Structure 1
Amino acid sequence: MTEAWRDATQPAAERVADLMARMSLREKVAQMYGAWLNVGDTAGEVAPHQNDQAPDPIDWPELVRHGLGQVTRVYGSAPVEPEAGARRVADLQRQIIGAGRFGIPAIVHEECLTGLAAWRAPIFPTPLAWGASFDPRLVEAMGAHIGATMSRLGIHQGLAPVLDVTRDLRWGRTEETIGEDPHLVGTIGSAYVRGLQSAGIVATLKHFVGYSASRAGRNLAPVSIGPREVADVLLPPFEMALRAGARSVMNNYTDIDGVPVAADATLLTGLLRERLGFDGTVVSDYFAIAFLESLHGVAADRAEAAAIALRAGIDVELPGVNCYGGPLLKALEAGDVDEGLIDRAVERILRQKCELGLLDAGFAAEPAYLAAPSPLDDAEARDIARRLAERSIVLLRNSSALPLRPGARLAVVGPGAHRPDALFGCYSFPRHVGIHHEGLELGVETPSIVDALGSDFPVSYALGCPVLGGTDEDIAAAVAVAAEADVCVAVLGDLAGLFGTGTSGEGCDAVDLRLPGRQEELLEALLATGTPVVLVVLAGRPYELSRQVERLAAAVCTFFPGEEGAGALAGILSGRVNPSGRLPVGFPGPGASQPSTYLAAPLGQRSEVSTVDPSQLFPFGHGLSYADAEWGAVSLHSPDGWATDGEIELTVPLHNSSDREVSTVVQIYLHDPVAQVARPVRQLLAAPRVDLEPGASRTLVVTLHADLLSYTGRDGRRIVEPGDIELLVARSSADVHTCVRVPVVGAAREVGASRRLHPESTLLP
């Protein structure tokens, strides 16, 4: 007879309760941590403190004798062929099942921020490029493909998406964020969650909450923000993604006002669970529990760190067992931890394993990939990667230089011009792990920008300078090549990496927003040749271009566009593809020493009371096209005003009079002239993307609920209040097509976690 907890026809709660009643305390604790068996291949290379925090050499039979919660990065720690990785997963699962009394398999997790971070897996654009696409449907399709790949390989959980709202562009992890606006981050992030989880993979929201607000943009630096900024700027993307069904959340490394998030029960339990109703698992960021002792200094030893984190609400310790093994058992024996907290965590963990099918009697240890091996980087992946790259490229400026004239002689120069891995973000396998394996091929076919442009134009190449450093001779050689060309394409910006292996990425923070190294010097030398210069910013963050922008023939921005990025860029420059990306983060104005997002109150904008002007050179939402839709007169369907608990409809007629397909992003911003607290001058409420065939006309209808007007008032409650507001229908945060004044009528109303978070958009003939 099948035990009740193995019976897939029974409710999950009953199955978990039956299993827990049979388990010893030691067996329960074993479900609360992972094992990083490949750590020796990367120790001391991928991240600082990795050696310091790594446990003693793993005694595998002893480790799994009572069971095991998770297995860490079988595919993503060292180069491994997909089939070999799948066989390793099967072997590990069989050992884990055979070792414990109950034969409970482990959850296998991997990084998947720009695709599965594994050798030979497809490499998609970075999240900042997702934001630039303003295309949640395409991001959802990407997430579904990533999830399907992971599922075939026997993986259960992905550590993505990152939902941190960009607050300071100097922060190295800006490339991992989706943008500087909470609505955009939440909309795109939710789409990724839906896609990934459609394949049965658990999405893990990172990093709850406040990571991106670290002082001066320094990684892991303390955070000093008020509860209103948390509630109104940093939290909404997590709320939206939880509403989309995300099943796991990862804590933020930093402290907020002196309290490390890994130790903060008000955030991880009071806010996340009690207020927002989350019932999935909270997993620690790698080594975050041990960091309570070693970096934050709020625990005397690992036993105390374990007790603090468990009380706060962290269920699972990743990547390996540092604190939730022996130290936690020590704290239990000393009476410093209530055994009920163990049951609380393990119930969540086992419920998730139940949902994943790991408790079913028919669980198969062998990944499906072994029965039907095939390339991971298939035609569907390449198509999605290409379309997303094309839609994410932003045309910043164009003085009739683009599209390039057929047959034009190009000088293509710069550190990103002829280096395929310059197209990848810091969590791609080549830039994350591959760089530590000398001579390793990229694992996916990726032409450089020189290669891609060379298919359409006669091209001469010169380095000019690397991302950092360089010689006078190399700059002179690039100048000579540019002087002989019809157009110079300068590919400048970043190389992604981790902790000093690049200029963008985790731990690669910037002092200011000038182009790194000698790149600005190179750009000035190229401009001095008199040859028209088309600047391609290939980077993980925007850079300060105010000194050169008026002298550029054109400027294009792409945020690490992935394996199909070079071809996508060639399509834009040649004119085969009509650029339609929009900036998810603004480019800074002169100075760039005090970065500012568009989302600022009046005194955070340009003001006579300060000599520092934080205005953006290219604003949030900006993006040009070779042909764009014509926007008609905006109409508002709200004859009696906008009720504080009601909806309104905005209609925008759109027409494409060109001979090519166009794609436009209709951005709707809120301006609230009078409120209880200082509010952003403009805040995005909706941004639907509309595609139109040549000659087509459609009418966009956007339905907005009054909940979208809510904000945190003086007393800390989220409210919608009556009064006059303005809705700005705009092409960017600084380019307003129509301002619609709307009276909000009715009684002031408090709204909670169940508020409406998404606008609705429909297209009429």
Structure 2
Amino acid sequence: MVSERVQGLLERMSLEEKLAQIVGFWVDEGGDVVAPMQGEMASSAKLEDATRHGLGHFTRVYGTRPVDPIERAQWLWEAQRTLVNQPGPGIPALVHEECLTGLAAWKAATFPTPLAWGAAFHPELVEEMGVAIGESMRTLGIHQGLAPVLDVIRDARWGRVEECIAEDPYVVGTIATAYVRGLQSTGVHATLKHFVGYSNSRAGRNLAPVHAGPREVADVLLPPFEMAVLDGKVRSVMHSYSEIDGIPVAADRRLLTDLLRGTWGFDGTVVADYFGVAFLQALHGVAGDLGEAAGKALEAGVDIELPTGNAYLEPLAEKIRAGLVDEALVDLACTRALQQKEELGLLDETFESEPPTSVDLDSPEHRRIALQLAEESVVLLANDGVLPLTSPAKVAVIGPNADRSEALFGCYSFANHVLAHHADVEMGFEAPSVLSALREELSGADITFTQGCEVEGEDTSGFDAAVAAASAADVAIVVAGDQAGLFGRGTSGEGNDADSLELPGVQRQLVEAVQATGTPVVLVLLTGRPYAVDWAFEKGAVVQGFFPGEEGGAAVAGILSGRVNPSGRLPITLPRSAGAQPYSYLHPQLGGSSQVSSLPTEPVLAFGHGLSYTTFTHTGLTVADEVAAGDTFTATVTVSNTGDRDGEDVVQLYARDVVGSVTRPVAQLLGYQRVRLAAGETATVTFTVPTTRLAFSDRDMVKIVEPGAVELWVGPSVATKETEAALTLTGDVHRVSLDDNRWVTTTVERD
């Protein structure tokens, strides 16, 4: 329902004033390149000219170059006062900023990447992180965050895997919705991205076309967005750059209006991914000029053009004056923009109050959350007994990521997004490297360091020193992996796609040279994607960190020493090779069969895998014999810590729909629960599961729950059926509606 206030504002606005409300202005656009084709799309407009009719959004006020947050807040308050007091609508601009791994601003806390959130399997902690991020943003006058990413991982070669949560839609949906709830609880609007299909690009190439059938889109790619819209009540959605089967999402009314607004009832704003409207002309070739691109995007349902008004200002105005675009489309988008500002309190904001004079963007609470999330996300992939370390006297720390704080962060961290262009500017907060953390953790040991090689490149001149250091040590810790960056400035991140899933550069050769010394080796991986590292498993231990953030060094050091018991689980399958991509554990039977191919298809490690310094058993999975399709059932399992130290398990309930009217995956995660158990402790975990978790799109693309046999199991990963049960869905086919429950709930009762 449109308020009288918003309706009155709209009626008094000129066309130019309405257009101004549906575009952004990028104050520092001419600075560092942080968006695709930023140079080609750059605007020469000055602030005073761009805002003379008002303004919809200020784009990335804090996050494009290193500016002191307090000084920039003072500038922002003054700019907002100018907008309020100038002739015309007198409406402040909405301020948006990136916040995927923390507020993208100088000196702000940097948390683990979303892939690490997935590895932690702990939505409640991610929600706490969202609250902490939102409070920082709100203090600085930021109203909307461009996060989280809900793309379901389909190909490990894609550079933006690090920004994604998991290859399982339910894990993505539950964790992303938790982030949305946390951020929005502070009064900051979250933005779902990238709606939809972006992660399914051909060959894992950024912006490559997406060729996904409607069933894959409906049953794999869309469910996380549905959960965040319907259950998370998200207030903004960003369209993806994708074209799906030849139709760019930015010009697809079926997705942006019919599904998102019509079916799901979304009533927030749809924003363009940066330059996405202009890309309808420049990249997709479905518009002859910017004005035509603007008309197509508006008609599809894109309300706000970001980062600037390349298409929605004069090019669109010309089409409207020529009668080629209906001004009613502008009225609709402007109404939504004004409603969002009304919801945020901006229509009443005068900015007469003073901006903050001090701010702590990396408080002890930020660091507590960052440390816990990092510790819970690190995955022990393999261990031949070398871990935990038992008071080694001499430790050789080796590798290109051992003494680099930047190696702890993803590409959307301020450090790698912006400071990579400003080598003379300090980080602005503490982020001890793995080497520094190990020196504190193993204070009694003699620790030496040699780099060995760079992340990229073919230089092996440092190998001899690395081999000598390892030979003289009781244990060698090799810290390898990625450097996150943008558009070729790194090995992981936006625009950094991979042809190979071998470690970048000569890092594998370095590790193998160190292993050949006979000294026990621990390989620590700080990466944004999983790599094919099965060759390392039989000669030591392998520890995986998915860019674990500012406290990641301490988390890794604590796990190596044994002070912290590893509890992370793989949110993505560990691949055998790049040739096996794209891959998902959610494959039908033929997708995993090696009997019809000369190449093995089984992954190295399965989804959900992760070792511990204790042992857990799962027994006695119990379910009812049958339940009506469309109803809810309970599954109960006993989990025991059978080792001699406390630890945390991620209890994973899987299912297989044995016979379907369309092919069904050989396994599907139904629900999960992180459980902490003392040594020798036992607990009973009960999953309450709506049968809609087994829903799929039938041959007529109707979402249904089909009667029939279902196999269920619990195990340490999808590949191991430690305890099993059988269930029969009875009755008629259940047609799924939006009123059906999408969530599994769990209870834990300790013996």
Shared topology, TM-score over 0.5? yes
Deviations 1:72-98 (A, max 9, x none): 111101101111121121011111112
Deviations 1:53-78 (A, max 9, x none): 112x2233332222100001111011
Q: What is aligned with 1:399?
A: 384
CA contact (8 A) 2:157 2:500 kept: yes
CA contact (8 A) 1:357 1:363 kept: no
Distance 1:365 1:553, change over 3 A: farther
Matched, 1:40 2:25: no
Between the aligned partners of 2:301 and 2:281, the Cα distance in structure 1 is: 17
TM-score (ref. length: structure 2) = 0.97
Matched, 1:523 2:508: no
Distance 1:231 1:193, change over 3 A: same
Q: What is aligned with 2:699?
A: 714
Deviations 1:594-627 (A, max 9, x none): 3412111111103211112221111110001111
- Give the one of 63, 69, 80 matched to 2:56: 69
Q: What is aligned with 1:475?
A: 463
Q: What is aligned with 2:281?
A: 293
1:495-644 alignment to 2 at 5 Å? 495-550=483-538, 552-590=539-577, 592-636=579-623, 638=624, 641-644=626-629
Between the aligned partners of 2:190 and 2:343, the Cα distance in structure 1 is: 13
Q: What is aligned with 2:244?
A: 256
Between the aligned partners of 1:590 and 1:136, the Cα distance in structure 2 is: 31
Give the secondary-structure state (helix, strand or coil) at the position aligned to 1:726.
Answer: strand
- Give the one of 726, 731, 737 matched to 1:752: 737
Matched, 1:162 2:149: yes
1:458-497 alignment to 2 at 5 Å? 458-497=446-485
Give the secondary-structure state (helix, strand or coil) at the position aligned to 1:369.
Answer: coil
Matched, 1:341 2:341: no
TM-score (ref. length: structure 1) = 0.95
Between the aligned partners of 1:22 and 1:763, the Cα distance in structure 2 is: 58
Question: Aligned letter for 1:755?
Answer: D
- Give the one of 162, 178, 196 matched to 1:191: 178
Structure 1 spans left out of the alignment, 5+ residues: 1-10
Question: Aligned letter for 1:330?
Answer: E
Distance 1:748 1:33, change over 3 A: same
CA contact (8 A) 1:165 1:181 kept: yes
Between the aligned partners of 1:594 and 1:144, the Cα distance in structure 2 is: 36
Deviations 1:292-326 (A, max 9, x none): 11111111111111001101100000001100010
Shift, 1:99, TM fit: 2.2
- Give the one of 61, 66, 78 matched to 1:79: 66
Shift, 1:18, TM fit: 2.5
Structure 2 spans left out of the alignment, 5+ residues: none
Matched, 1:15 2:5: yes
Shift, 1:661, TM fit: 2.9
Give the secondary-structure state (helix, strand or coil) at the position aligned to 2:604.
Answer: strand
CA contact (8 A) 2:34 2:64 kept: no
1:235-384 alignment to 2 at 5 Å? 235-242=222-229, 243-360=231-348, 362-364=349-351, 369-370=356-357, 373-384=358-369
Deviations 1:508-541 (A, max 9, x none): 0000211111111111111111111111111000
Q: What is aligned with 2:18?
A: 28
Shift, 1:694, TM fit: 4.3
CA contact (8 A) 1:204 1:248 kept: yes
CA contact (8 A) 1:628 1:664 kept: no
RMSD across aligned positions (CA): 1.5
CA contact (8 A) 2:74 2:355 kept: no
Matched, 1:429 2:423: no
Q: What is aligned with 1:416?
A: 401
Question: Aligned letter for 2:518?
Answer: G
Shift, 1:363, TM fit: 4.1
Question: Aligned letter for 2:251?
Answer: A
Between the aligned partners of 1:711 and 1:681, the Cα distance in structure 2 is: 14
> After TM superposition, what 4+ stretches of structure 1 lie above 6 angstroms from structure 2?
none
Q: What is aligned with 1:5?
A: none
1:144-159 alignment to 2 at 5 Å? 144-159=131-146
Distance 1:165 1:23, change over 3 A: same
- Give the one of 692, 700, 706 matched to 2:685: 700
Q: What is aligned with 1:120?
A: 107
Between the aligned partners of 1:191 and 1:267, the Cα distance in structure 2 is: 24
CA contact (8 A) 1:89 1:366 kept: no
Q: What is aligned with 1:6?
A: none
Between the aligned partners of 1:100 and 1:692, the Cα distance in structure 2 is: 64
Q: What's the % identity of the aligned pairs?
A: 53
Between the aligned partners of 1:486 and 1:620, the Cα distance in structure 2 is: 33
Between the aligned partners of 1:84 and 1:231, the Cα distance in structure 2 is: 46
1:642-681 alignment to 2 at 5 Å? 642-658=627-643, 660-681=645-666
CA contact (8 A) 2:621 2:713 kept: no
Matched, 1:439 2:427: no
CA contact (8 A) 1:606 1:612 kept: no
Between the aligned partners of 2:185 and 2:479, the Cα distance in structure 1 is: 37
CA contact (8 A) 1:630 1:654 kept: yes
Shift, 1:668, TM fit: 1.0
Between the aligned partners of 1:345 and 1:549, the Cα distance in structure 2 is: 55
CA contact (8 A) 2:388 2:560 kept: yes
Distance 1:368 1:655, change over 3 A: farther
